[in-house]
Each structure stands twice: as C-alpha cells, then as structure tokens.
Structure 1
Amino acid sequence: MTAQFRAPAVRRSALHSGRMAVRAALLAAPVLMVAACGGSGGGANTPDTAYVARDVETLYFAAKERLDRGQVKQAAALFDEVERQHPYSEWARRAQLMSAFSYYVARDYTSSIRASQRFLSIHPGNKDAPYAQYLIALCYYEQISDVQRDQAITMQAKTALTEVIRRYPGSGYAADSQLKLDLVNDHLAGKEMAVGRFYQKNGKWLASTMRFQEVADEYQTTSHAPEALYRLTESYLAIGLPEEAKKAAAVLGANYPGSEWYEKAYELMEDKAADFIS
C-alpha cells in the first residue's frame, strides 16, 4: 500500500444516513407579525364571505376571523377581496401577504407562491419581503417527494432557500433556510446515491462512477459523502482504474477516518494490493 493509505481508526458511530425534514417552526410568528400591522382598531368582524362591497377594515377583519377559526380557504378568498375592493389602501398590502399565508396553510402551494411573488414584485423593499420569500421556499420545501421520484420540486426548493439566504442574510429566516437547505442537499445527494447504486448493481460501472463523483464533488457536507467515496473506490476498481480508486480511498481516509466506509475501503484496497505492484 502507498503512504497515502493508513489503517482506519477505532470504529465510531456511522454518520447519520439521513435527517428528518422539519416542519416550518415559524408559522405562528409571521401570522402575529403581519396581523399586528392591522392595529387594534377597525370595524366589526363578520363571517360573511359573499363578494359584496364593504369597508376595508370590516373586510380585513372578517378574513382574519376566518383564519383564526381555521377556515383558511375562505380567509384567503376574503384577503384577496380586500385587495380587489381596496387596491390602493394600506390594508391591501397586508392582505396580500395574509392571503399568501392562508393559501400556504391550506396547502394550496401554487396559489401561495403566486401571492408571495406578487407581494415581492409590488413591495420588494418592504420589511415583510423576507417572509414572503421564505414562504415561497416553504411551499416548495413541503412538496419534496422521496428520493425515488423526480427531484424538480427539490431543486426549486433549493433555489428558493438559497435566495432567502442570499437576499436576506440578516433576517430571522436565513438561519432556518440554511437548515432546510442542508436537508435539501442531503435529499438530492440521496437521490444520486440511489441511482448510482442501481447502476452499480447492474454492472454499469462508468455510469455509477459519474453519480458517486457528483455526490463527492457537489454534496461534500452531506451524510452521503463517505459512502459515495467508498462506492467510487469500488467502481474505479471494477473498471480497472486502481490509481483513481486509491485517490478516492485516500480522500475518504483523510476526511472520514473513523467511518465504517473507510474501514470497508481499506479492506477492499488491501485485498487488491497485488494489483498495485508494478
């Protein structure tokens, strides 16, 4: 064996194979924050959702009452009506974001994204713009499917979460977006690993190598990186590239010396040591 390679340390617990996706922890706060903008005054509450002309405060608080009662679809319709009937009022701005939130709670993600994007297009510098961007990210994030399915939504979630962090790094939503982004990356890496294992199982070593290399290069901080390097070692050996296999195993040993995957890679390379003798 070369000097690059060393025996693994005493086995430690294996890295977590995945992390559970978290639900939005900040749901209640934005509602209170946005609703508080309405002040404590204003007209009488009414549960009526019929599209009849009403003064703006009555209409807004009717929508808020519906939301508080869990009638989120009716609430969204009434918040939309605030903007329709009173488009130039201060209440219309508040209603736009409350409508987006109501659609989100109703799991009408398409409508929530549309309403949030509308809010951002009209009020890009508003103090609630970070939340509108975060709400878009949540809508994509909560639609993420398992790793066996198409990952288009997962990529959209990644883009939206990255946008929150990029545009509003000092906001209260950036840290939670970073946590979710880590989970999204782990999910995407898991998809690549699943495909790579499938190719490996069917003897398509070159195709599997490309998948595992993608994880090793693009998802280095995820829980899948150690296994990806081990699978790379396997695949390179299978296609007759022992030097590339040694490199992958060496990177694995340098970055994850106590992992079960390095132990396996070390044993595999020891078994193949004769192949390296010139």
Structure 2
Amino acid sequence: MFQRIALALTILVLATSCANSKLKLPPETLFKQGEKLYAKKKYDAAAEKWRKAKDSTTSPLLRTAVELKLADALYHDKNFIEAAAEYENFRKLHPKNQKAPYALYMQGLSNYYQVKKIDVDQTPTKNAVTLFEMFLQQYPGSDMTQKVTVTLAECKARQAAHEMYVGRFYYRTDKFEAAIGRFEYALQEYPGTPRSDEALFFLGKAYLNTGNTNKAKESLSRLVTEYPKSEFVDNAKKILSSNS
C-alpha cells in the first residue's frame, strides 16, 4: 500500500515538473514561436507568446523587438485600441530607435481604424490626425511620407463628413443656427475636402431659412464659382435666381 502511494506521489511530482517546464519556456523560444504563429496569421496566439516573452526576458534587445512585434500582432488582429497603446509605449521607450517612425505611423493607423462610421464620436480620427501631422513634422524625408499624407487627407475627409452629418441633422430638424455652425466649421477646418460643395449649399440654405439673404447668396455664389460641376450647382442657381 505504502509503495503504491509513494509511486503515485512520484508520478504526480514528475507530471507537475514536466508541466512547469513547459510553462517556463525561454523567452527566445517564445519569441520564435510567436513568429511562426504570426506567419500563419494566428495573430492572437502570436500576441500571447510575445507577451510572455516580453514579461520574462532580461535582454534589452529582445524586449525591444518583442514590444514592436506585439503591437503588430494586435494591429493585425484588429485590436486597434491595444495596438495604439503598444505603439505609443514603444515610441516613448525608444524615441531614437530606427523603428520609431514606423511605430508613429502605425499608432496613427491604429487610431484611424478604430472608427469606421461618420455618425459616431470622431475622437480616434482626431488623434490620428494629430499623429500623422506629427509624423510629417518629425520625419519629412521618410519613405512613408506619401502614405501618411494620403491617410491624413482621408482622416480630414471623414471629419468633414461627420460635421456634415451633424449639420444636416440640425438642418432637417429646423435648428438652422446650429446647422450653420457645423457647416461653417467644416469649411473652415477642412477646406477642399470632397464634401465642401455640399457644405456651401446647405450653408446657403440654412442662412436663407434664418432670413440672412446676403449670407445665403454669398455661400451659394461661392459654390457656383468654386465647384461648377457640383451636383448642387443647378439648385444653387435656382435659389440665387429667385432671390436676386
């Protein structure tokens, strides 16, 4: 009986020891496992391996590499909030690292992709604009400059579209002063965006509804002059003609 108990305890100890040894893999091994999983697009599993490597390594070089890899895995797993935080953390810890420009760009993208609709809070888009503008100031000669410039323009177009969405809501609900504020803001802050002609048209109509005919004519005339091919031009001309 005693021998059986002793044997059982020995097996239990060995099993526990084996289990612990599996859990305590070297950080270098965890890093390589993460790379294999990442290559297979198993981003969540890769992130888990890299978190463990990050927490267990004592090597500054490995830790730096893991920090950026972890951010990339989170980004590709569409975990954009955590990815943005990890890219920011990397930049703060390694401001002079050659990958710092990349981390700044990816932090901007991580904010950009947090929002997909124009009818929701645009704070992440605003954050992305700040980050992309920071990139252009800090790294004007970067080979990523063109991509940053394009995405920055997309961010501003989204912000303008959001202002138009809110402004048109106010317009539909007869809150013309509030609508005017939104349309004016869109034109001032996001000039030349794809919906500037729409902003001018509804700005003119909103002014007309408040009785400010001069301001209405000013906005509609500007629409006709600056955007002659706009879908709103014909209606703008009709309104101008009837209020001449």
TM over 0.5: yes
Counterpart in the other structure of 2:117: 146
Counterpart of 1:191 (choices 162, 165, 188) is 162
Which 4+ stretches in 1 moved above 4 angstroms? none
Between the aligned partners of 2:223 and 2:45, the Cα distance in structure 1 is 55
Using the size of structure 1 for normalisation, the TM-score is: 0.74
1:226, 1:136 → 2: CA distance? 32
Residue 208 of structure 1 is aligned with which of 179, 194, 209? 179
User: How far apart are 1:53 and its partner, in Å?
Assistant: 4.3
Asked if 1 retains the 8 angstrom alpha-carbon contact of 2:223 and 2:233, the reply is: yes
**Aligned counterpart, 1:181:** 152
For residue 257 of structure 1, the aligned residue among 197, 208, 228 is 228
Note the aligned Cα RMSD (angstroms).
2.0
Opposite residue 92 of structure 1, the aligned amino acid is R
Classify the secondary structure of the residue corresponding to 2:119.
Answer: coil
Equivalent in the alignment of 1:245? 216
Unaligned runs of 5+ in 1: 1-48, 274-278
Q: Percent identity?
A: 27
Residue type of the partner of 1:85? S
Structure 1 counterpart of 2:90, from 119, 132, 144: 119
Aligned to 1:85: 56
Question: How far does residue 51 in structure 1 lie from its aligned partner after superposition?
Answer: 4.0
Of residues 237, 240, 244 in structure 2, which corresponds to 1:269?
240
Q: For residue 116 of structure 1, what is the amino acid of its counterpart?
A: Y
Contact kept, 8 Å, 1:230 with 1:249, in 2: the verdict is: yes
Counterpart residue number, 1:27: none
Deviation string, structure 1 residues 138-182 (Cα, Å, up to 9, x no partner): 211112131222222222222222232232222233221221221
Which range moved further: 74-83 or 184-193? 74-83
8 Å CA contact retained: 1:120, 1:133: yes
1:208 Cα deviation after fit? 1.2
- Higher relative helix content: 2
Query: How many residue pairs align between the two structures?
Result: 224
Asked if the contact 1:233–1:246 (Cα under 8 Å) also holds between the matched residues in 2, the reply is yes
Q: Deviations over 1:22-80 (max 9, x none)?
A: xxxxxxxxxxxxxxxxxxxxxxxxxxx954141x5433222211211222222122223
State TM-score, norm by structure 2: 0.84
Residue type of the alignment partner of 1:225: S
1:103 to 2:74 alignment: yes
Q: Which has the higher contact order (CA 8 A, sep 6+)?
A: 1
Query: Please, which of 49, 52, 66 is the counterpart of residue 24 of structure 2?
Result: 52
Distance across 2 between alignment mates of 1:146 and 1:59? 38
CA contact (8 A) 2:163 2:183 kept: yes
2:81 touches 2:114 (CA, 8 Å); kept in 1?
no
Asked whether the 8 Å contact 1:79–1:98 carries over to 2, the reply is yes
Structure 1 pair 166/51, CA: closer, same or farther in 2 (3 Å)?
Answer: farther
Q: Deviations over 1:121-145 (max 9, x none)?
A: 1110111111111111121111213
Change (3 A) 1:131 1:50: farther
Higher Rg? 2
Q: Which residue of 1 aligns with 2:40?
A: 69
Q: Which amino acid aligns with 2:204?
A: T
Contact 2:81 2:111 (8 Å CA) reproduced: no
Match of 1:44 in 2: none
